Structure 1
């Protein structure tokens, strides 16, 4: 589900969960646990297996599980996103292919994002589901004023478009991606680990303040909408449209 390898003290985490690394409750739980387990690594690099970083939430599981699944899935999504966003050590995302919806959120939670191909974007509104406050504010931290168009447009960006708005920091050839990500992670380790961790907390403080203010207002409504019968119908239609191309 997640492969972990050590590269001179840098933990390389590779999502390996089906053909497109779709995010389900189990994968997100494992990601949070794995990030806790590598808390003492010099740095972390997160990438995906195959041709996708992550194509987003496993919508079939949401449809099949209904409200009961949504009640456990959304907390797992929050926990994994914050575990990545708040990891005290440098975190580099090696975006090796499509990073859509929740996959885009995980990429945005990394300190530095390198991309080698595919598309990236927030497609939630196209699928008919709202954003949890945690996900919205983590992406806002990454892209700032570009968030509105990214959310409301619900489209996919080519790598160069993502670079232009700061969603990714550099474009890298596929065969060079992991080496470049490990090199960038090693460069970020030049600062003392406690200094890096404090600086990261300072930079993230506004996002956490917004999350703290929004969650009491939004989380209940988000869960209600994710659990609604209408959402299930909309997701089925969305998946059918994807199969039709």
Structure 2
């Protein structure tokens, strides 16, 4: 599910979960646990052609409302664990980073990309954003957040760089070495000063997340479990099987 390789003050967290690193409740919990257990700088990456292709939509359809509710709780918990990790975090986007996979990358302090496509495709299948995901997107993309989120498109590395979705584009062979070098450089700074600066930068997003009401959560859950959303998810899955 995950492999973790520690290199001095940096740990590489590699998603190895199925063919495209699709997010289910088990993967989310594993990521949250890995982040919470680490006092190192973290480099997140994927396997093969995918960083993470986002939510395992088949599990959403098959699991019904109980699974979806537990999944959304685990999803927000994972996003916040990465976003609030006190040490440096770097996303080494080796391939497709779609929807939740894109939010995972945006939750990191720095993002590098070598190939594939990245984007917030949630609205294309009718699923609303949990507040945690939306505020992380707003923090990372600033004035471009609405354009990227509402457009629900996926883009290649050069366009992602232009939109501010990633900070650097590298070759595939350079991605991990460059990400490790950058994480090592950031980790050499005062851990307490880095933690404090990060907390200050993240305060508006975290305050907005913490202001989320039960009604907000209920509206998001209703959107994920509606008949229309399930119809759209089913159509998207059927289209994938025809490729």
Q: For the superposition of Structure 1 and Structure 2, which TM-score range results when normalised by the shorter chain?
A: over 0.9
Report Cα offsets for 1:213-232 as digits up to 9, x if no partner. Answer: 34444211001111223322
SS of residue paired to 2:155: coil
Question: How many correspondences in the alignment?
Answer: 243
Unaligned runs of 5+ in 2: none
User: What is the CA–CA distance in structure 1 between the aligned matches of 2:201 and 2:50, rounded to whole Å?
Assistant: 29
Tell me if 1:181 matches 2:174.
Answer: no
Unaligned runs of 5+ in 1: none
SS of residue paired to 2:19: coil
User: What is the CA–CA distance in structure 2 between the aligned matches of 1:198 and 1:50, rounded to whole Å?
Assistant: 36
Report Cα offsets for 1:14-62 as digits up to 9, x if no partner. Answer: 0000000000000000100011111x22x11000011100000000000
User: What is the CA–CA distance in structure 2 between the aligned matches of 1:52 and 1:194, rounded to whole Å?
Assistant: 34
User: What is the CA–CA distance in structure 1 between the aligned matches of 2:134 and 2:148, rounded to whole Å?
Assistant: 11
1:2 paired residue number: 2
User: What is the CA–CA distance in structure 1 between the aligned matches of 2:211 and 2:163, rounded to whole Å?
Assistant: 26
1:136 paired residue number: 134
SS of residue paired to 1:88: coil
**Displacement after TM superposition at 1:242 (Å):** 2.7
User: What is the CA–CA distance in structure 2 between the aligned matches of 1:10 and 1:152, rounded to whole Å?
Assistant: 35
Q: Which of 52, 55, 58 is residue 57 of structure 1 equivalent to?
A: 55
1:157 paired residue number: 155
User: What is the CA–CA distance in structure 1 between the aligned matches of 2:214 and 2:91, rounded to whole Å?
Assistant: 30
User: What is the CA–CA distance in structure 2 between the aligned matches of 1:116 and 1:215, rounded to whole Å?
Assistant: 39
Q: Which of 60, 83, 86 is residue 84 of structure 2 equivalent to?
A: 86
Q: Which moved more, 1:70-79 or 1:187-196?
A: 187-196
SS of residue paired to 1:202: helix
1:125 paired residue number: 123
- What is the TM-score when the length of structure 1 is the normalising length? 0.96
Report Cα offsets for 1:176-231 as digits up to 9, x if no partner. Answer: 11100000001112321011000000000011122223444421100111122332
RMSD (Å) for aligned C-alpha atoms? 1.1
Tell me if 1:239 matches 2:242.
Answer: no
Confirm or deny: 8 A CA contact 1:67 1:228 kept in the other structure. no
Tell me if 1:218 matches 2:216.
Answer: yes
